[in-house]
Amino acid sequence: MGETFTLYLRLLNLTLRGQMQYRASFILSLISTGLISLFEFGALLLVLIELETLAGWTIAELAVLYGLVEFSFGLMDNIFDGFDPRNFGQRVRLGTFDQMLLRPVPLITQIMGSRFELRRIGRIVIGFAVAAAGILVIPMQWTLWKVVLLPMMVIGMVCFFGGLFVFGSTVTFWTIESIEVMNILTYGGSYAMSHPVSIYPGWLRAFLTFIVPAIFLNYYPTLYLLDRPLPAGDWVAFLSPLVGIGVLWLAFRVFKIGIRYYQSTGS
């Protein structure tokens, strides 16, 4: 385990040094991803200023919901960039995945170490700032449980979104064309999660509960943070990391099946 982690860090180190060769492009995309996030939130803000509240949520409360998703998604996008179906599909198609199979170290370590997009830090910073501003404005009543829950939510969401990326990458072993379907799930999921789930129709809520259990990751724990009532008790809020890690675990299992399939067909 320790050895695998050391290898991961070594791979990351090389990946980052490779990226630093393109400094100008790095700075430009750092600024642009930050601006995109900022404008997205700005657009939401403009609507909200007119409405003042959305489904009974104040702007500050919505900022917490929105900021935490942005922050977690940005983190995940960095850590799981190797599993971004677009990158991974490319790797399978170009045959560079074969080179990973030829190295005597775990595949998941190699894939995670193969990419790390520092430029997405823009999104992480904006997400963090929006959530922090919301928390300060509300102002939140802190308890020990809330202090514990906050980082667990982030871990849960990083694992959850990461799991969706891994599912998407697995699909590319079979077909490149269905990547878009997975992307709708991943990006649509993160967008849906940045709004109060109560605004959605029943079928979508059911989908986000039972099919893609996104509702556990951000909505329920945020209800707890904001001292709002939860449907089945406060413990539901703490399912966030469990659901996230569970989805990621399942995704890695399915990924291994994908590798078996790949080895029986080639590219």
Residues forming contacts to another protein in the complex (CB under 8 A) are 6-7, 10-11, 14, 17-19, 21-22, 94-96, 98-99, 101-106, 260, 263-266
Report whether 59 contacts 45 (CB < 8 A). yes
Distance in angstroms (rounded) separating the CA atoms of residues 230 and 237: 8
Distance in angstroms (rounded) separating the CA atoms of residues 164 and 158: 10
In the bound state with another protein, the residue whose beta carbon lies nearer, of 198 and 263, is 263
Tokens of 74: 């940005």
In the bound state with another protein, the residue whose beta carbon lies nearer, of 98 and 180, is 98
In the bound state with another protein, the residue whose beta carbon lies nearer, of 10 and 253, is 10
Q: Could you identify the residue written with the tokens 């539901």?
A: 236
In the bound state with another protein, the residue whose beta carbon lies nearer, of 6 and 198, is 6
Considering the complex, what minimum distance in angstroms separates the CB of residue 186 from another protein? 26
Considering the complex, what minimum distance in angstroms separates the CB of residue 113 from another protein? 10
Distance in angstroms (rounded) separating the CA atoms of residues 91 and 84: 11
Considering the complex, what minimum distance in angstroms separates the CB of residue 167 from another protein? 23
Considering the complex, what minimum distance in angstroms separates the CB of residue 185 from another protein? 23
Q: Residue 250 CB: number of other CB atoms within 10 A?
A: 13
DSSP summary character for residue 77? H
Considering the complex, what minimum distance in angstroms separates the CB of residue 11 from another protein? 7
DSSP summary character for residue 228? P
Distance in angstroms (rounded) separating the CA atoms of residues 186 and 184: 6
In the bound state with another protein, the residue whose beta carbon lies nearer, of 204 and 257, is 257
Query: Which ranges in 52-143 belong to alpha helices (H)?
Result: 59-79, 85-94, 96-101, 107-114, 121-137
Burial of 52 (0-12, 13-18, 19+ CB in 10 A): exposed
In the bound state with another protein, the residue whose beta carbon lies nearer, of 228 and 260, is 260
Considering the complex, what minimum distance in angstroms separates the CB of residue 190 from another protein? 30
Report whether 85 contacts 165 (CB < 8 A). yes
Distance in angstroms (rounded) separating the CA atoms of residues 82 and 112: 5
In the bound state with another protein, the residue whose beta carbon lies nearer, of 12 and 245, is 12
Considering the complex, what minimum distance in angstroms separates the CB of residue 169 from another protein? 18
